Amino acid sequence: MDPRVREHGLASTETEEQDMGTRKGPWTIEEDSLLAHYINNHGEGHWNTAARCAGLNRTGKSCRLRWLNYLRPNVRRGNITLQEQLLILQLHSRWGNRWSKIAQQLPGRTDNEIKNYWRTRVQKQAKQLKCEVNSKQFRDTMRYAWIPRLIERIQAESESPVDQPIISTPTYHSSQIDIPVAASESGSDLIDPNILPDISGSCTFSDSLDAQVSSGSDLTCSQNPPSSHYMQNGSCSYPENDSVPWGWYEHGVDMQRRG
């Protein structure tokens, strides 16, 4: 849903807030317009000045946030693609909660969006696995189960000629990372060795866990995520059968929920 629609309904309460000083809460279309117009003319930065000169009764911080997360051109909203999910998992395993740094590798995505993604999806999975999101146990699950499954998934989608909206997403380029949009010959090509140096080189554990994990243990499973009773001896294992569907974050399906 366009947030403006949501916000517009709340705009009627703004008068009392304006009387009491700096405005807070959802932005109105008028405020968006004022801010965008100002920044188009004067450029980004100097947010406090922008707030004053644009006639906005907002803090500079609020203006900055609104611009970066919503008004800025090329901001991509909507579902995180599989490639983006993969990249987020990889980068988070390397950098931790450095959302802004991770966001820099995902053009058009904001740190706020990635942070929200992590909290709502990944942390939820950790919670359901009854393990700390920063624990070795969870990281191993991510590295040796979810990421490989994500790669398989990306590969599978790239091989099927129909229903692959993800393929239209841009290739991500940076000095360090170049995640190909279409899968190459092997899924491992999708992992930047600089990001997860231990994945490609840790065949023994990876292979053994792979055998345990089977399919359906990854971050795209939300409808029926791996439950805690699959946890054994401090690591994650999963049932042999593929009872957990890949529907957790089905693109083109999930994204239709919010239109």
Question: What residues line the site for DNA (CB under 7 A)?
Answer: 1, 3, 5-7, 9-10, 23-27, 45-49, 58, 60-62, 64-66, 69-70, 77-78, 97-101, 111-113, 115-117, 119-121, 124, 222, 257-259
Q: How far is the CB of 174 from DNA (least distance, A)?
A: 15
Closest CA to 89 of 226, 254, 258, 249: 249
Which of 208, 224 has the CB closer to DNA?
224
Q: How far is the CB of 208 from DNA (least distance, A)?
A: 31
Q: How far is the CB of 79 from DNA (least distance, A)?
A: 7
Q: How far is the CB of 13 from DNA (least distance, A)?
A: 9
Which of 76, 177 has the CB closer to DNA?
76
Which of 26, 107 has the CB closer to DNA?
26
Place of tokens 């790239």: 158
Q: How far is the CB of 75 from DNA (least distance, A)?
A: 9
Place of tokens 């700390």: 132
Q: How far is the CB of 207 from DNA (least distance, A)?
A: 32
Which of 40, 100 has the CB closer to DNA?
100
Distance CA 212, CA 243 (A): 14
Which of 17, 207 has the CB closer to DNA?
17
Which of 7, 189 has the CB closer to DNA?
7
Place of tokens 């932005």: 27
- Strand ranges, E, within the chain: 172-173, 178-179, 231-232, 235-236
Axis-axis angle for helices 147-159, 203-213 (nearest 10): 70
Please, are residues 132 and 188 in contact by the beta-carbon 8 Å criterion?
Answer: no
- Return the ∠ at Cα 222 (arms to 92 and 177), rounded to 5°: 25
Interior/surface letters 158-167, b for 16+ CB within 10 angstroms, e for the rest: beeeeebebb
Q: How far is the CB of 95 from DNA (least distance, A)?
A: 8
Token pair, residue 40, equals 């188009």
How many CB atoms are closer than 10 A to CB 214? Answer: 17
Which of 92, 143 has the CB closer to DNA?
92
